[in-house]
Each structure stands twice: as structure tokens, then as C-alpha cells.
Homo-oligomer: A and B are copies of this chain.
Amino acid sequence: MDTYAKSKLNKVRLNKRAEYDRKTVHKIIDDGLVAHVGFVDQDWPIVVPMIYARIDETLYLHGAKAARFAKAMGKGIQTCITVTHLDGLVLARSAFHSSVNYRSVVVHGHAKPVTDKDEKIEALTLVTDRIAPGRWDEAREMTDKELRSTGVISVPIEHAAAKVRTGGPIDDEEDYDLPIWGGVVPMRQVFDPPEDDGRLAPGTQLPESIKKLLAGNSG
């Protein structure tokens, strides 16, 4: 099926901005680096930023914070993972119609620690390659000890919905006569020149992974 089923959990209030097709949802997820992960701990919501990767219909979360998170998990706890990209400021002629252009995805599923070694390596490879494409293979091989002490959590995508706002402001018709600027200021994330840590072994070159990152700057 190419769309996620609508449910009480993922139904978006403003329908004109909702998207449920898998391609759109996957693309927004795959364009991000850090997700905001929510879970419930003794009646309080907790939201933490975490690095993640997607394999098919499963999200993998990684981070030191995983420890606190994992502590609360037995057979899988209810989790919300939200990925947001800011694409621009929308300046309408009225404050009321001003907005931002964005793409966001909200995923719900039950989170569990990954215990299978191969699955963990696959997830960590992808997570590392999100920091910089191809970085896993460039880096020193992960030891068994490191692997054991790295927490990875898997969350199957049980519900998902995307919301997307694009384009200029929609002003009240009479406001277009006002001498007030209306339009969009596009935003994007860029990389600045890499700064090595001053401890490079002689002859060490800038890796392909970073060159690929920087090449994406123009996009």
C-alpha cells in the first residue's frame, strides 16, 4: 500500500496540508538528521533530539540519551518521532496570515532496543552515513566493545502523516492594495568550511564524505 492509513493518531486537522503517501513521508524523514522523539515518563511527555535513520518501515534512533529512554522500555513503549524542515518565512501583509514554509512528519510506533547484532550494525552504518555520506566505511572499524555499549532503538512506523506548507502568503483580498511587502524568505541549512582538529596524521586528506556534504550546499 502506498499510503499510511488514517487513524485517530495521525489524522491532521488542517487537511489541505496533510499527506499520507509513503514516498512523501519517507523523503521528509530521509532529508533530516535529528528527530524530536517523544515518550511518556510518569505522566510527563519527554521530547529529546536524537540522530536517526530509516530502513524501510522502521526508524532507528541513536544517542547517549537512548539510555534514559530505553530504561522506560520493556516490551516496547509508545513513541512519537517528529522530523521538521524549515524551508522559509512567509511574510503576509497581515500578521494573522504570516507563517512558515515547512515539511514535517509525525510517526507513532512502539520503541524497542535493538539486540540483534547484524541489525544493530546495519542501523549504525546508516546513522553514521547520515552524519556524512559514506562515513561508516571511512572511519576506523567499530569494535565489539563499542558495539555493545552503543544503544540503538527501533521504532516500526505504525502511524505516519506528513504536513507540508509551500508557496507565498495568502492574504485577504483587500490587503493586496496595502504598501506592505508580501512574499517568502527561503531558508536552508548550509555547511561552512570543515575545520580539522589539528591532530591529523601526516598526509591525511579531506574525505569524500565531507566533499559530498559540501557539494550539497548549493541545493
A contact residues vs B (CB 8 Å cutoff): 9, 13-14, 33-34, 36-40, 43-49, 51, 64-65, 67-68, 78-82, 84, 86, 89-96, 98, 100, 102, 104, 106, 108, 124, 128, 131-132, 135-136, 138-140, 142-143, 146, 150, 168-169, 171, 175-201, 203-207, 209-210, 213-214
Contact = CB atoms under 8 A, between A and B. Distances in A.
B48 A89 contact: no
Contacts of A139: 91-95, 98, 180
Q: Is the interface of A mostly helix, strand, loop or mixed?
A: mixed
A132 B84 contact: no
Nearest to A138: B180
Contacts of A210: 91, 181, 185
Taken together, the copies of this chain in the complex come to: 2
In the A-B complex, the 8 residue pairs with the closest CB atoms: A38-B45, A36-B36, A168-B197, A183-B196, A38-B47, A186-B192, A47-B82, A38-B38
18 contacts: A40-B40, A45-B78, A48-B104, A91-B207, A91-B210, A94-B142, A94-B146, A95-B139, A168-B195, A177-B201, A183-B195, A184-B194, A184-B197, A185-B191, A185-B192, A186-B193, A187-B192, A188-B189
Contacts of A195: 168, 183-186
A21 B91 CA distance: 34
B44 A47 contact: no
A83 to B, nearest CB: 9
